[in-house]
Structure formats: C-alpha cells, structure tokens
C-alpha cells in the first residue's frame, strides 16, 4: 500500500477534481502491474494498473491481489466503473486503503466487489491515504474547499514595506516551489490591495501542470482594467458588493454585506466544484481567515537575510504547532496544519 500512495502522488496537479489514486497488482509477493490516475478524464489507477500487466503474466491476474489507495468507483463518469473491470478480470482479492466519500461511490464500489464474491479488506494505511487526498475529503465531507494560507515575510515580520513599491521577499528558487503549490490547488485568492500594488498574474509559469482559478475580493470594484490578470484571457472571478455579471472570462459575483464573506465564498466554491484555495494575500485577507478559524494549512516563507524595519506586519497564527520546516536558499519555510484538520485526517 505504501507503493500505491507513492504512485498516487504522481497525479498531484493533474487529476483534480478527482482524487489522487495508485494501484498495485501482486501475485505471490511479486508486483505484476502498477498504475496511477494520471490525468483528469483519463483512465483511473486500477485500469492503468491492469493494462500494465505483461502478456506473459495476464493469466495470473485472477489469482492476484489488487491494492488500491481509494475505493474503486462504482459509477459511470468520464470513464466506466473500475469495480466492473475488477469483477470482469476475476481478481479474487482487493485491499483498499479507505472508502471514497463521493456520494456516487461511498461504499458502493466495495459492495459491488463483495457481491461478486471478491474478498475485500479495508483500512490499510487509511490515515495516510486520507491525508494524501485531504482536499477531496474536506470538500465531500465538510462541504467546503480546503484552505491553505501562504505568505512571505521579512526576518523582522513584515509582509510589505512602507513605500508603494512591491517588496520582493522570496528567493527565485522558492518562487518555483510556490508555483508548484499553485499547480496543486483549484483556486488562488487575493484581496484588492494586493491586486493593485503587486499586479500579479497569479498563474503557474515555473512548474508543470495547470494554473489555478483566480479569485479576487474587490468589494467596491476599484481594480483598474489594465491589470495583467485581466489581459491574458484566463478566467478571473471578482467577489464584490455591486453586481453579478459575466464579461468574457471575467465573472462578477455579488456578495451580501450582512453575511460573512468566507461563508459565502465556501458556498460558491462548493456549488462550483472548487475543492481547494491557496490564499496568497494580503495581510488583512489572510488574517480574516485566521480570526474566523477557517483554514487548514499555513505555509510561511521567511527571508532570513531581509530586514524591513517598518511596514505592514505579517499575519499572526497563535497556538498552532509547526509540523514541518525546511530551507530554500535564503528562505525558511514553516508549515502548519490546523489542529482540527490534523484531527480530522
């Protein structure tokens, strides 16, 4: 099962909104096939695993054990049900890490296999498998997107200087990592001031994979039309207090002033299949998620060689133990997981 999880990770940034899944077929302690879900809309892990079996080993399939990191699907989506293929190949035993929370599956795949006389074992490395697909599980079990907070700060704790100029904090190598993070999330969110001051494209340019859907909070529609993100032809969603409208790839979504923005954001994302959001700033927007206790991970990049002296203070996370830390050139990256999220997975 460890190998299944290792294979599944190859799908990061390519399979969403589907989960990352890996599968391994074993005959008498010998791996005869393995595969993973490689691309959204493409064959699932079980299919790729079975297809990888050599012609010389095909006769061994019925007497083999299939290990899979998530319950095989039982419904017709973009591809046929994997449970049907397993039954068709007469595989006698299946080991599943965890059940699929998606309503169209959610135990039905396991039930189909057992009804066909296949021995099914579940719960092997269950926590690790759920952790791998924490966005998928959060979306289908909590009915909201998985929230990752990310910011860069100086060594003395500032996210921006006192001037109007953009403060470059992260090292070029760290920027590549940030673009990898972007490729792995469904959407990216910033506020008005960050959009105006930094004029970011919010795309993934330094890593393989897709760019996230761009979300901007601009309550009074103050953003100028000449921003980079408005000129590249990719979708942008503007949350505002003025109007609902669609102008090409630019969508305006009206929010109610008497309701929590974060709650409205979660409803919109759930209704539109947005499973995760990377919140990149600014400080006020980031702090609002912290104060509302509505976040799952925080990734804080500190340039250990940069001192600003004065400016805009970075957000503050209290009483949350760090779970991982590493360096990237001059940058120290500290990773945090919300205690409730850690308990859930």
Nearest Cα neighbor of 142 from 276, 320, 15 is: 276
Active-site residue identified among 46, 71, 193, 297: 46
Run of H or E including 327: strand 322-328
How many Cα atoms within 13 Å fall on the side-chain side of residue 100? Answer: 24
Place of tokens 């630019």: 250
- Answer for the pair 106, 98: CB distance below 8 angstroms, yes or no: no
Residue 166 has, within 13 A of its CA and on its CB side, a CA count of: 13
Give per-residue burial for 184-208: e unless 16+ CB within 10 Å, then b. bbbbbbbbbbbbeebebebbbeebe
Q: How far apart are CA 307 and CA 154, in angstroms?
A: 6
**Does 46 participate in catalysis according to the annotation?**
yes
Q: How far apart are CA 222 and CA 227, in angstroms?
A: 11
**Which residues does the annotation mark as catalytic?**
46
């Amino acid at each position: 099962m460890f190998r299944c999880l290792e294979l599944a990770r190859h799908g990061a940034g390519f399979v969403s909104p589907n989960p990352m899944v890996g599968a391994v077929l074993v005959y008498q302690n010998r791996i005869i096939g393995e595969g993973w879900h490689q691309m959204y809309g493409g064959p699932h892990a079980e299919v790729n695993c079975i297809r990888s079996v050599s012609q010389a080993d095909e006769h061994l399939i019925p007497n083999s054990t299939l290990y899979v990191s998530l319950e095989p699907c039982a419904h017709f989506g973009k591809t046929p049900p994997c449970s049907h293929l397993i039954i068709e190949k007469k595989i006698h035993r299946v080991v599943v890490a965890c059940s699929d929370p998606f309503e169209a599956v959610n135990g039905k795949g396991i039930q189909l296999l057992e009804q066909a006389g296949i021995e099914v074992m579940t719960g092997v490395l269950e926590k690790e498998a759920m952790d791998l697909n924490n966005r998928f599980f959060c979306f289908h079990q909590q009915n909201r997107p998985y929230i990752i907070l990310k910011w860069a700060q100086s060594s003395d704790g500032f996210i921006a200087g006192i001037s109007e100029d953009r403060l470059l904090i992260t090292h070029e190598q760290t920027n590549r990592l940030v673009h990898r993070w972007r490729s792995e999330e469904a959407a990216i969110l910033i506020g008005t001031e960050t959009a105006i001051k930094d004029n970011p494209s919010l795309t993934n340019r330094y890593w393989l994979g897709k760019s996230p859907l761009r979300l901007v909070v601009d309550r009074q529609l103050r953003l100028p039309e000449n921003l980079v993100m408005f000129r590249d032809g990719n979708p942008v969603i503007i949350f505002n207090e003025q109007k609902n409208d669609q102008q090409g790839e630019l969508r305006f979504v009206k929010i109610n002033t008497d309701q929590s923005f974060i709650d409205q954001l979660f409803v919109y994302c759930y209704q539109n299949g947005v499973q995760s959001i990377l919140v990149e700033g600014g400080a006020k927007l980031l702090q609002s998620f912290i104060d509302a206790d509505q976040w799952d991970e925080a990734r804080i990049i500190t340039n250990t060689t940069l001192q600003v002296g004065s400016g805009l203070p970075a957000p503050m996370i209290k009483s949350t133990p760090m779970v991982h830390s590493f360096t990237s050139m001059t940058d120290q990256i500290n990773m945090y997981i919300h205690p409730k999220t850690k308990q859930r997975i």
